[in-house]
Structure 1
Amino acid sequence: MEQQATYQSDGLSLDAESGRRAQSATWRDYLQLTKPGINASNLLTTFTGYWLAAFTFDYNLDLQKLLLTLLGTAFVIASGATLNNYYDRDLDAKMERTRHRALPSGRIRPRTALLFGLVLLAAGLIVLAVFANPLAAMLSLLAHIFYVLVYTPLKRVTSLNTVIGSISGAMPPMIGWAAVTNNVEMGAWVLFLILFLWQPPHFLALAMLKAEEYREGGIPMLPVVRGFTETKRQMFNYAAPLVPASILLMLYANLDLAYFVTVLLSSVGYLYILFKGFRAEDDLAWARQAFGYSLIYLTVFCLAVIVSAL
């Protein structure tokens, strides 16, 4: 009886402590749930799709509609990130890099995170449906479902999770495009293709850098289950079609010679860096370089589209 009383007392103490930690959550904790860095890069591609469609089809550039499209998309992406954090909280608790996040550390309760994610989703869909069009809202919902209900659980069971996740990550420029034309013309699909091809090399470079943490967490990322050599090969194979895909966009959108030269040089530069990986003496240093250049490549591509479309 004495041992049972002690156990119950300890349990109450732990519950109270958990409650205090949950109450100590700050606005920064909720912001981190939404993965603001990933959200920002997705909003850049959403803006690019909207901008390119508007100038390709000579639509008036409705700044209010553009801002509301970005806002609605941001809410939906933030929802996906929050629900991803909610689902992965047990995995995050196993890895040093993530165990101090608000959910695994107990500063935010799982039920609170779930509700927060669902509210963000509803808000985003309403904003897109009302102020853009139902097609843009439907595309954002499709990307959200694929990210939360397909990619997130599959991350635990297959090394193909990076490729599968690339489908939802390639949707934002289509959302921006559809917000303008209320359609998904061929230009939107080429933008989807470019973003789909860009993502595996980008995220696999990061997976190489975090391979030991993923191994510790039991997550079957490609560098963990197949090794660095196979990861490098797949990174190069996905990046190689970026050259023709980027040029193909010129057939379906209002882009000039400056765009052609910019994306050609940046794509070839990307392939050169990835090719160097096959002879790299320090795999992690090379992966860091490849990851950094992938961010530069995406930014340069979007800026080239935005400037050239004017």
Structure 2
Amino acid sequence: MSKYGTPSPQMVQKSVLSEQQNSSSIITDLKALFKAKVLILNVLPVFCGYWLALYFNHTSIGAHWDLFWLTMIGSTLVMAGALVLNNWYDVDIDTVMERTKERPTVTGNFSLKFVLWLGISLSVLGFIFLLFTTIEATIYAFIGWFTYVVLYTMWSKRKYTLNTVIGSISGAVTPLIGWTVIASGLHIIPIVLALIIFIWQMPHTFAIAMKKYDDYKAANVAMLPVVHGFDVTKRQILVYVTCLLPFPIFLESLGFGFIIIATLLNIGWIVLSVRGFFTKDDMKWAHMVFLYSVNYLMVLFLLMIIVTLPVFN
């Protein structure tokens, strides 16, 4: 403090730094609460489904800007609400697991009551937005929300290794949400996209479960590697990855170039999966499978958008 009672430059600087740190901490907590990376990875298929519906129904995004924003905002809010509710319900096991100990529900930065009402509010608001699109899209969004929050988080996650299969339904509906805002979901394209995501989630989640084996075991979560071991998990990964191989053929309307690239992506993943039977470092291999799975989905769906851009048609 100066002799005239005004804050010194050093005190002002400390105050500013403190405010910046608090702001940064809040942003970090919100990103953890919303599982930002998971949210983004789920929003992409919604957009892709919407975009492809426009393409195959010979219309443009400019003709449906209102539906576009309602779809993207509504679906994002619904998924964010589901992820927040997952954090609220899982606070007990998140306290045990190393990778989740910094979540705001565990640290107490956000009260559980606040998190619960935030999850409910976001979900309800998201459904309200989607109701202004189509009933079919809203139904798919509800199926995804109910599957993730109730059937996966509250029922199967801690009891059955089939929790991964059940949870995969919530991700599989995302392209159907986007597509059915524009047209009926009874079309080969959105159905194939849903099946791809459904199958993709198994090896993706199994790889995570292997990486975080100790965490899941400590929390007594019934993930496949914890219950049946790594060898069974590796076989399951290979089976599901191989199941992805024929799907590019069903998307032949996206062009020969897409089929070639998608097939190469599938072959690359199969090769990586087979290497798991010969690796001496299971954790390193599981991390590679995880990274490949994330990039696989992003590249595949971005490629679908790129090949249907007006400049390529």
TM-score range relative to shorter protein: 0.7 to 0.9
- Residue of structure 2 equivalent to 1:33: 33
Alpha-carbon offset, residue 64 of structure 1: 4.0
Shift of 1:30: 3.2
Amino acid at match of 2:193: L
Equivalences for 1:1-310 in 2 at 5 Å?
26-61=26-61, 62-130=64-132, 132-153=133-154, 154-250=156-252, 254-310=253-309
In the TM superposition, residue 300 of structure 1 has moved relative to its aligned partner by: 1.5
SS for the counterpart of 1:280 is coil
Gaps of 5+ in 1: 1-24
Figure out how many residues of one structure are paired with residues of the other and give that number. Answer: 283
Q: Which SS does the other structure have where 1:278 is aligned?
A: coil
Q: What secondary structure does 1:165 align onto?
A: helix
Aligned mates of 1:27, 1:286 — CA distance in 2: 32
Q: Secondary structure at the match of 1:97?
A: helix
Aligned to 1:279, the other structure's residue is in SS state: coil
Give, in whole Å, the separation in 2 of the partners of 1:102 and 1:139: 30
Task: State the Cα distance separating 1:60 from its structure 2 match.
Answer: 2.5
25-34 vs 213-222, greater mean Cα deviation: 25-34
Q: Give the Cα separation in 2 of the matches to 1:182 and 1:248.
A: 18
Question: Deviation of residue 182 (structure 1)?
Answer: 4.4
Paired with 2:254 and 2:69, the residues of 1 have a C-alpha distance of 23
Secondary structure in 2 matching 1:73: helix
Q: After superposition, what is the alpha-carbon deviation per residue over 1:19-41, rounded to whole angstroms, capped at 9, x for unaligned?
A: xxxxxx83542342111111101
Q: Which amino acid aligns with 1:89?
A: V
What is the alpha-carbon root mean square deviation over aligned residues? Answer: 1.6
CA distance in 1, matches of 2:263, 2:248: 8
Q: Is the 8 A contact 1:151 1:164 kept in 2?
A: yes
Residue identity matched to 1:102: P
Alpha-carbon separation, structure 2, partners of 1:185 and 1:259: 19
1:57 CA drift (Å): 1.6
**Unaligned regions of 5+ residues in structure 2, if any?**
1-24
Residue aligning to 1:9: none
Instruction: Report the AA paired with residue 47 of structure 1.
Output: F
Q: 1:64, 1:79 → 2: CA distance?
A: 22
Distance in 2 (alpha carbons) for counterparts of 1:211 and 1:293 = 19
Offset at 1:45?
0.9
CA contact 2:251–2:259 (8 Å) conserved in 1: no
C-alpha distance in structure 2 between counterparts of 1:35 and 1:129, whole Å:
25
- TM-score after normalising by structure 1: 0.87
CA-CA distance at 1:248 after TM superposition: 1.3
Separation (CA, whole Å) in 2 of partners of 1:63 and 1:282: 50
Structure 1 residue runs of 4 or more that deviate by more than 6 Å after TM superposition: none
